[in-house]
Amino acid sequence: MKQLTGFIVSGLIGGLVVLGGFQLIQKGEDSTVQSQWDQPLVQSVADRSEVVSYRMPVSFADAAEVATPAVVHIRASESRESAQERLKRQQQQDPFYRFFRFDDLFPGDLFRDESPRRNRNFRNPEFYQRRGSGSGVIVSSDGYVVTNNHVLQFADEITVTLNDNRVFNAELVGRDETTDLAVLKIEADDLPTLEFANSDKSRVGDWVLAVGNPFDYLTSTVTAGIVSAKGRNLNIIDSEGSIEAFIQTDAAVNPGNSGGALVDDRGRLLGINTAIATPTGLYAGYSFAIPVNLAAKIIDDIIEYGYYRRAYLGVTISEMDARLADEIGSNITTGVLVVEIQEESSASKAGLKANDIILAVDGNDIRTASDLQAIIGAARVGDHFMLSVSRDGKIKNIAVQLID
């Protein structure tokens, strides 16, 4: 009996010891867990950088809120009188037109429709009024708006709708076909504007937003992407002396976005959206914008003079590559080769020579013809530059003052 009692007492004591130990362990775990969750968020992720991306997501809401009010919707149309005058010129240029009139078969007045292909007149099936739409960016609080020339190049009736739905008739201040830019003026005050970024400082990989009015009805649309490339020359501006040094992005841009804003992640204006690379006419992965450093000079000139007062270096150039380098016996494969120099030009006065290879302007590397065109295109008459050139295998620095 005594032996049985001993076993029972020993068992009870052992059980109490195990239970007490378990409770102590559980209490320690609870305090550990509690202490972890009690810590501030910054401390809890201080040594776990992989958690930061989940707790601090990227948002462009602030940039979008800054940019959207300064982007407008533009509708452009050809007046009836202008359309009739255009048709008259067309008839005069086509000697066979008068043999194919429809007056006797289809008497009547205009049959109108929004589509140029269907906006026909049974009496005169060639008559239609051209219409278009696009976007624009307010560049001054007193009503100057920049857009693309191709949005309104045919128009003499233009309306601008602000982000707050106010509608204004717009006057064309001036346009420049070589850069596909135009400036409008509306009678309004205290309008929202955007700070200009330095597009020369933007880098491939930087975040950007495209703001505009795709398809004429998706107003105030914001899309995001990155800078995919810089200095793109697409040969899409059909004008002698055109300047193409586009910022390439993968932000979605569609018809109707033309003339809208490309902004950086702070909402600063980086460029004017102008074109897309597409086999279908719709967005297919890449879009292109005129850099704001170039656009700003042209905007200022149009407002002041009514046209783009362009400065010229006065050279004919060819872009360097491995083939051209081999032809001229050089080991330089980037930059631009001076092929010809105009008499009495900025280049001739500075002492540039044919077969010089321009490598840099004011310390900025020149890798393509577009790089040089963009810098000179954004300059003013009278500006001074220091060109670094390779001549006969040696590097020379040549000071140039631009003239018009």
Output the six-digit token pair for 262.
């490309």
Q: Which of the listed residues 279, 305, 331 is the one where a domain comes to its end?
A: 305
Q: How far apart are CA 196 and CA 271, in angstroms?
A: 9
Residue 249 and residue 331 share a domain = no
User: What's the CA dihedral at 280, 207, 235, 258 to 10 degrees?
Assistant: 60
Residue 282 and residue 222 share a domain = yes
String of DSSP letters for 250-278: -S---TT-TT-EEEETTS-EEEEEEEEE-
The predicted pLDDT at position 20 comes to: 57
Say if 104 falls within a structural domain: no
Output the six-digit token pair for 265.
């992640």
Q: Which amino acid type is present at position 122?
A: F
String of DSSP letters for 309-374: ---B--EEEEE--HHHHHHHT-S--SSEEEEEE-TTSHHHHHT--TT-EEEEETTEE--SHHHHHH
Residue 396 and residue 364 share a domain = yes
Residue 96, C-beta contacts closer than 8 angstroms, at least 6 positions apart = none
Say if 292 falls within a structural domain: yes
Residue 301 and residue 203 share a domain = yes
Phi, psi of 125 (to 5 degrees): -65, -10
Q: For residue range 74-91, what is the model confidence (pLDDT) as tens digits?
A: 999 988 888 888 877 777
Higher pLDDT, 261 or 92: 261
Question: 146 vs 134, 174, 201, 377, CA distance in Å?
Answer: 11, 10, 22, 17
Q: Is the pLDDT of residue 37 over 70?
A: no
Average pLDDT on 226-250 reads 91
Residue 281 and residue 337 share a domain = no
**3-class secondary structure, 7:** helix
Q: Which of the listed residues 305, 329, 352 is the one where a domain comes to its end?
A: 305
Number of domains in the chain: 2
Say if 145 falls within a structural domain: no
**Is the CB of residue 266 less than 8 Å from the CB of residue 403?**
no
Closest CA to 133 of 84, 170, 188: 170
Closest CA to 217 of 273, 257, 250: 257
String of DSSP letters for 342-356: -TTSHHHHHT--TT-
The average confidence (pLDDT) of the chain is: 82
Quote the longest CA-to-CA distance of the chain.
Answer: 135
Q: Which of the listed residues 305, 325, 357 is the one where a domain comes to its end?
A: 305
Output the six-digit token pair for 21.
């130990």
Say if 33 falls within a structural domain: no
Beta bridge partners of 247: 289
- Does the active-site annotation cover 73? no
Find the CATH number of the domain harbouring 394: 2.30.42.10
The predicted pLDDT at position 174 comes to: 96
Residue 297 and residue 206 share a domain = yes
Q: How far apart are CA 168 and CA 151, in angstroms?
A: 17
Residue 297 and residue 204 share a domain = yes
Q: For residue range 254-280, what is the model confidence (pLDDT) as tens digits?
A: 999 999 999 999 999 999 999 988 888
The predicted pLDDT at position 12 comes to: 54
- Does the active-site annotation cover 365? no
Q: Is the pLDDT of residue 128 over 70?
A: yes
How confident is residue 125, by pLDDT bands cut at 50, 70 and 90? low
How confident is residue 220, by pLDDT bands cut at 50, 70 and 90? very high
Say if 109 falls within a structural domain: no
Which residue among the candidates 180, 301, 356, 371 is catalytic per the annotation?
Answer: 180
Say if 236 falls within a structural domain: yes
Beta bridge partners of 24: none
State which residues form the domain around 274.
199-305
Which residue among the candidates 73, 77, 133, 150 is catalytic per the annotation?
Answer: 150
Average pLDDT on 6-10 reads 53
Q: How far apart are CA 77 and CA 156, in angstroms?
A: 6
Output the six-digit token pair for 32.
């550990």
Say if 263 falls within a structural domain: yes
Average pLDDT on 95-119 reads 39
* Tokens 């007056």, located at residue: 103
Exposed, middle or buried, 92 (CB in 10 Å: 0-12/13-18/19+)? exposed
Average pLDDT on 323-343 reads 94
Find the CATH number of the domain harbouring 297: 2.40.10.10
Q: How far apart are CA 208 and CA 49, in angstroms?
A: 25
Q: Is the pLDDT of residue 46 over 70?
A: no
Which residue among the candidates 77, 228, 258, 390 is catalytic per the annotation?
Answer: 258
* Tokens 């078969």, located at residue: 105
What's the whole-model pTM score?
0.76
Average pLDDT on 350-377 reads 93
Residue 275 and residue 344 share a domain = no
How confident is residue 8, by pLDDT bands cut at 50, 70 and 90? low
- Does the active-site annotation cover 180? yes
Residue 280 and residue 204 share a domain = yes
B/e letters for 268-299, b = 16+ CB within 10 Å, e = fewer, are: bbbbbbbbbeeeeeebeebbbbbbbbbbbbbb
Say if 168 falls within a structural domain: no
The predicted pLDDT at position 238 comes to: 82
